[in-house]
Amino acid sequence: MRRILVLGGGTAGTLVANLLARELGAEIMKGDVEITLLDEDGNHVFQPNLLYTSFKGMKPEKIVRPEKKLLHKRINFSIDRVTKINFTNNKVITESNKTYIYDDLIIAVGSKIARDEILGFDEANLDFHSSQENALKVWERIQEIRKGKVVVGVSAFPHKCPPAPVEAAFLLEEFFKKRKLKDNVEIHFITPISRPYPDPTISNTIERHFKERGIIIHPFFNIDRVDSEKKIIYSLEGTDLEFEAMFVVPPHKAPQAIIDSKIGDEDGWIPTDKYTLLVNGQKNVYAIGDVADLRTSKSGVTAHLEAVVVARNIIADIRQTGERCKFTGRTHCPMDVGYGKALFVISTYDKAAKDAKPTRRNLLMKKAFAQMYWTAVGGSLEWLFDRYFGEDARECFIEEPI
Amino acid sequence: MTEPRTILVDCRGMACPGPITEVARAYRKAQNGDILDILATDSAFTSDINAWVRATKNELIGLEENAGVIRASVKITAKKQ
Ligand SMILES: Cc1cc2nc3c(=O)[nH]c(=O)nc-3n(C[C@H](O)[C@H](O)[C@H](O)COP(=O)(O)OP(=O)(O)OC[C@H]3O[C@@H](n4cnc5c(N)ncnc54)[C@H](O)[C@@H]3O)c2cc1C
């Protein structure tokens, strides 16, 4: 019996488990393969829509579904938080004190908000990254703002969804403009680096749009601490910024179980082979999605494409077909620039992003992807994604027998 | 205050999201006196690190390119601590 254990029921974990369960039906029925997925809370949030709860008032209950309903019936599912992972004896321990032994382990526990990283940050800031409840608080707060500086941007790298801070700036500008408050409300974008987006080409486009729309950029602004009473953000570079409201993307780290298990770097990101997605030094442990320390975006699309690579490699190994797939680092990050338009940031490990123009068609595509999400994590739309991404997403070949 | 350290920031083979984001990450955790020893292969890195050092007022103590690898050494001197 080959025991495949998946940790985390988000984008990456749900898809990889479903792809395996769909394809390995015969092996599972015969009792040769078993698939188990553990998730800490049993709810699956479609996180891209947190942006629309925060800045467009989308109902939070629309963006969450029970994980169990998204999983193939051949998957054993438990709601149980993982607390320890031990590679030496192939064991995973959970909060309820259960021990799971695995033959293949797929770690897909995503990322968490590091609330205590910056002094005063959490008391002053409202974030649209962590939950539907917090996203709703952002929506409620922006209704009250009549004047002053609204600060958005990045507190630290890496964080999930690189376009999200920029999207927040664009959607807020649209929000205040439509309410005729633009003369009284200023939008300020802070970032620790020289430009609003890490990729220079995309950044140029954003800077142009920021300028046109009066969004003020503060480059090289590393938050040191925040005084929530005086409403001032202090930077490590010695500059201060007063604010009326603050919606900055908080620092991220890996879930505590990864840090406690000492299998990641100091923030818990797991050192992972960028092509095979095997955890460095391991032959039967994969890290996919946000938790992996990969030189690509922490995004749902990359999590999805990584899940496919791992599923295909495990299936090939079980069936001894000799197929091997490598991930290309492909990103496909939509960026909503407001007023009904979006652009896509498309790159791979080897190809930097090309300049992209915001269009209405792109926003429609972003919305179409969102509509398809719940079906897509079930694993039945791979024929469509294969057509869309083609060979840009993975390189597959048959390994010659030695 | 702990002893100054040399912190290796290896960004070789990294184009997106870019070595400069790794530098910003290491800077958050560094203290005055520490040295960031940064390796990168992204050609935009030279101008990025120059701009970063100028703006943050830290000290660039070395910048060289060898066989496509750019090595920058930055002494952290300007953090408000
Ligand atoms: C505001 C916002 C907008 C975004 N927009 C986009 C977008 O437009 N396009 C895009 O591609 N991506 C977008 N993303 C990013 C995307 O949502 C994430 O990168 C993606 O969900 C990562 O997938 P994952 O499976 O690694 O992690 P997640 O989907 O976060 O799943 C991790 C799972 O692990 C579980 N877990 C955590 N710890 C434990 C534990 N100890 N034990 C058991 N289970 C655990 C959690 O409950 C969760 O179910 C956005 C994110 C945000 C916040």
The full DSSP string for B30-63 is --TT-EEEEEE--TTHHHHHHHHHHHHT-EEEEE
Nearest to A289 by CA among A158, A165, A186, A397: A158
Query: A133-145: per-residue pLDDT in tens?
Result: 999 999 999 999 9
Compute the mean pLDDT over every residue in chain A, rounded to the nearest whole number. Answer: 96
Indicate the CATH number of B6-75 among 3.40.1160.10, 3.40.640.10, 3.30.110.40, 3.30.420.40: 3.30.110.40
Q: Report the chain A residue with the minimal C-alpha distance to residue B19.
A: A198
Q: What is the CATH number of domain A115-251?
A: 3.50.50.60
pTM score: 0.95
Is the pLDDT confidence value at B73 over 60?
yes
Taking contacts as CB-CB distances below 8 angstroms, the residues of chain B near A199 are 16-18
Question: What local confidence, expressed as pLDDT, does residue A299 receive?
Answer: 96
- Per-residue confidence (pLDDT) for residue B20, from 0 to 100: 87
List of chain A residues whose C-beta atoms are within 8 Å of the C-beta of residue B18 = 193, 198-199
Of B24, B48, B52, the CB nearest to A157: B24
A-chain CB neighbours of B16 within 8 Å are 198-199, 295-297, 331, 347, 352-353
Mutate to test the pocket of ligand 1, among A160, A310, A343, A371 (most ligand atoms within 8 A of CB): A160
Read off the pLDDT of each residue in A139-162 and give the average, rounded to a whole number.
Answer: 96
User: For ligand 1, atom 48, which residue shows the shortest CA distance?
Assistant: A10
Kind and range of the H or E run holding A52: helix A50-56
* Residues ≥6 apart with Cβ < 8 Å to A365: A334, A342, A344
Provide, rounded to the nearest whole percent, the portion of chain A with pLDDT above 70.
Answer: 100
- Report pLDDT digits (tens) over A287-308: 999 999 998 899 999 999 999 9
**Cis, peptide link before residue A219, omega less than 30° from 0:** no
Domain A2-111+254-329 listed as CATH 3.30.70.3450: no
| Domains A2-111+254-329 and A115-251 belong to one CATH topology | yes
Residue A153, classed as helix, strand or coil, is strand
Name the residue ranges covered by the structural domains of chain B: 6-75
Q: Is the CB of A110 under 6 A from ligand 1?
A: yes
Residue labelled with tokens 């520490």? B34
Residue spans per domain, chain A: 2-111+254-329, 115-251
Task: Kindly tell me if the per-residue pLDDT of B81 is higher than 70.
Answer: no
- Protein residue whose Cα sits closest to atom 35 of ligand 1: A8
Please say if the pLDDT value at position B16 is more than 60.
Answer: no
pLDDT at A104 over 70: yes
* C-alpha A11 – ligand 1 centre gap (Å): 6
Q: What is the mean pLDDT of residues A304-319?
A: 98
A5-38 pLDDT tens trace: 999 999 999 999 999 999 999 999 999 999 999 9
Give the integer Cα–Cα distance in Å for A334 and A299.
Answer: 10
Confidence of residue A402 (pLDDT cuts 50, 70, 90): low
Q: How far apart are CA A13 and CA A35, in angstroms?
A: 11
